Amino acid sequence: MFKHFQRVRHFSRSRLLCKPPIDSNGLYYGKFTKEEYDQAAKYVKDQYDNLANLIKGTTHIRENLDKMPAFPSIDRTKGGIKVENLSQFFEQTIKTTGPITLLAYMRQCLTHPDFGYYTTRNPLDFKTGDFITSPEISSMFGEMLGIWLYSTWLNQDKPSSINIIEFGPGKGTLMHDVIQIFNKFVMNKVKINIIMIESSSVLRYEQYKLLCTQHPFNSTEHGFNKSITKWNNEIWWCNTEKDIDLINESIEVPNYILAHEFFDALPIKSFIKQKNGWRELLVEHSPSVNNTQGKLPSNEETSNNDLLNADFHLTLAPNETPSSMIPKLNPRYENLPVGSRVEICPDSEFYLMKMIQLLNNNKGAVLIIDYGLSNQIPENSLRGIYKHKFVSPFIKPGEVDLSIDVDFQNLKNIAKNYTNVYGPVDQGDYLHECGIGHRAQQLLDKNSDNYSEQEKIFNSYKRLTDKDDKSMGKIYKFLCLLPKDSKPPVGFGGSV
């Protein structure tokens, strides 16, 4: 780049004392001609695009799990060391190339084709899974989202044909409960096309078994699957959000998008502000280091567990990395004091913009439900989840689920330029406004002669809505995006 500008400067030296040219469009090129200016501008743009690709990557964690790029494999035919798990894989990689980015570490932990958490197991399996989600706790959760969908559909003049799209649909439980209640309200008079963004073949089949009891599970071109639900709605499975346009029958059909616990598994980069600028936190291998800089569990039972003897830890890059430009270019971080730590998720911005693009013809909606804080910058939220407990994110890579706090404020700041944004609101408040209290009472009355079932209903209701440390009513947030000039939706202060 320096040599390039030396050449441009040489070409322009003879014109230093001349009156600078002004193009017909009024642009002032200073000591450069228009051709030189365009040439330099193109060079800078190319460099910027290359940097953006380096920072964000070209493949995203929720896209094609079976085709995620892995680190260079070790050539075992030349005496390479045999790798039997992801821990050994990282150890050998770091020994060869030095510390790796946190984003790369998370990608490989979750999506490595041979050792990744999501590619080698069903994370929601009742017996072997490491966590449970709100839809699995009670059908009341999905029913409240079905009420939100129905009321939003009413407020948008009841379109006769709609797409319901879910990013990261898990076992399909949420879609099952949403569709069941929505179909009940519209009496099956609306043409519903369901699109599941799911690249795991294991989870696709789990979703099919729940949603489509009698119809076959067909394979189509582009790696899609297709079937008919038990409510006679057409349903598609595709690998990535890029495939939605291949399925949509018409751009006139509005899209209603659900993203439940989708953003919290996207990989992040982490930075610390120093006197001389931002420095990136990288993942290093060191069996002797037990005090990682990742988020560690606070409860005594897990903190004393020998699982905390992690083989990896975070280390601070001694100099700027290409990614150091990310916090530097964002005015949100400009006034943070030296020593501040921030977590930034480039993929979340990519997916948010795709969802916004799917809001068409002043109809449709996006509903994001996830773990996070309303208006704070995430600092040190990366956590591991193993056997329903929080653990260090640097133990048992590939066997431990990884999760982060979603930066709702950043999502809101981006979305408000294109849509009406409502929330984030606490899960407990949202569910109560949608009527979960009334629904719980209905179920209690229906089971008045069954005390054990009543206790189960009541405990599920409390776990979904209470705001104590053991419940989900406060730590989970709801964020809604609607086309400009929409009125507030149900759950966010609105009504039908």
Residue 180, φ and ψ in degrees, nearest 5:
-60, -45
Q: Domain ranges in the chain? A: 2-56, 134-265+347-378+406-482
For residue 337, the number of C-alpha atoms closer than 13 Å in the C-beta half-sphere is 1
What does the angle CA 109 – CA 114 – CA 120 come to, to the nearest 5 degrees?
75
What does the angle CA 72 – CA 267 – CA 331 come to, to the nearest 5 degrees?
120
Question: Is the Cα torsion angle 22, 25, 26, 30 positive or negative in sign?
Answer: negative
Three-state secondary-structure class, residue 320: coil
- Name residues whose C-beta falls within 8 Å of residue 117's C-beta, 6 or more positions apart in sequence: 109, 110, 111, 123, 398, 399, 400, 401, 402
Residue 133: predicted pLDDT: 81
Residue range 103-113, pLDDT digits in tens: 999 998 888 77
Three-state secondary-structure class, residue 206: helix
Mean pLDDT on 165-189:
93
Residue 202: predicted pLDDT: 83
- % of residues, the chain, pLDDT over 70: 78
Both structure tokens of 462: 């409390």
- Name residues whose C-beta falls within 8 Å of residue 284's C-beta, 6 or more positions apart in sequence: 94, 99, 312, 313, 314, 315
Classify strands 225-228 and 218-219 as parallel, antiparallel or unpaired: antiparallel
Residue 282: predicted pLDDT: 94
Confidence of residue 308 (pLDDT cuts 50, 70, 90): low
- Backbone conformation region of residue 98, classed left if phi is above 0, alpha if psi is from -120 to 50, else beta: left
Task: Name the E strands within 265-331.
Answer: 269-274, 277-285, 312-316
**What is the spatial distance between Cα 277 and Cα 319, in angstroms, rounded to a whole number?**
9
Which helix (H) or strand (E) is 441 found in, with range?
Answer: helix 436-446
Helix axis angle for 34-56 and 346-357, nearest 10°, is: 100
Residue 292: predicted pLDDT: 45
Whether the per-residue pLDDT at 183 is higher than 60: the answer is yes
Residue 481: predicted pLDDT: 97
Mean pLDDT on 223-244:
90
Better-scored residue on pLDDT, 27 or 180: 180
Mean pLDDT on 167-193:
93
Mean pLDDT on 472-481:
94
Closest CA to 479 of 373, 408, 413: 408
Tell me the residue length of the chain: 496
- Name residues whose C-beta falls within 8 Å of residue 304's C-beta, 6 or more positions apart in sequence: none
What does the angle CA 371 – CA 377 – CA 380 come to, to the nearest 5 degrees?
70
**What is the spatial distance between Cα 463 and Cα 133, in angstroms, rounded to a whole number?**
11
Confidence of residue 365 (pLDDT cuts 50, 70, 90): very high
Mean pLDDT on 314-321:
91
Whether the per-residue pLDDT at 205 is higher than 60: the answer is yes
Residue range 93-104, pLDDT digits in tens: 888 888 999 999
Mean pLDDT of the chain: 81
Residue 55: predicted pLDDT: 46
Mean pLDDT on 246-259:
86
Residue 261: predicted pLDDT: 93
Question: Is the Cα torsion angle 349, 354, 360, 365 positive or negative in sign?
Answer: negative
Mean pLDDT on 13-17:
41
Whether the per-residue pLDDT at 357 is higher than 50: the answer is yes
Confidence of residue 122 (pLDDT cuts 50, 70, 90): low
Mean pLDDT on 117-145:
75
Whether the per-residue pLDDT at 418 is higher than 90: the answer is yes
Q: Buried (b) or exposed (e) across 190-223, using 16+ Cβ within 10 A?
A: bebbbbbbbbbebbbebbbeebbeebeeeeeeeb
Residue 30: predicted pLDDT: 52
Between 3.40.50.1480, 3.40.50.12710, 2.40.320.10, 3.50.50.60, what CATH number should domain 134-265+347-378+406-482 receive? 3.40.50.12710
Helix axis angle for 408-415 and 346-357, nearest 10°, is: 40
Residues paired with 386 in a beta bridge: 389
1-10, 107-116, 209-218: range with highest mean pLDDT: 209-218
Residue 360 CB neighbour total at 10 angstroms: 16
Whether the per-residue pLDDT at 62 is higher than 50: the answer is no
User: Any idea which of 188-192, 238-242, 326-330 has the lowest mean pLDDT?
Assistant: 238-242
What are the start-end ranges of the H helices in 242-323? Answer: 244-247, 300-303
Both structure tokens of 219: 């394979």
Better-scored residue on pLDDT, 222 or 489: 489
What does the angle CA 417 – CA 418 – CA 423 come to, to the nearest 5 degrees?
80
Q: Buried (b) or exposed (e) across 449-476, using 16+ Cβ within 10 A?
A: eeeeebeebeebbbbbbeeeeebbbebb
CA distances to 91, 93, 154, 193 from 82, rounded to whole Å, are 12, 12, 59, 47
Mean pLDDT on 354-361:
88
Whether the per-residue pLDDT at 453 is higher than 90: the answer is yes
Whether the per-residue pLDDT at 480 is higher than 60: the answer is yes
DSSP result, 124-176: T-TTT-S---HHHH-HHHHHHHHHHHHHHHHHTT--SEEEEEEES-TTSHHHH
- The alpha carbon torsion through 81, 87, 90, 95 (nearest 10 deg) reads -60
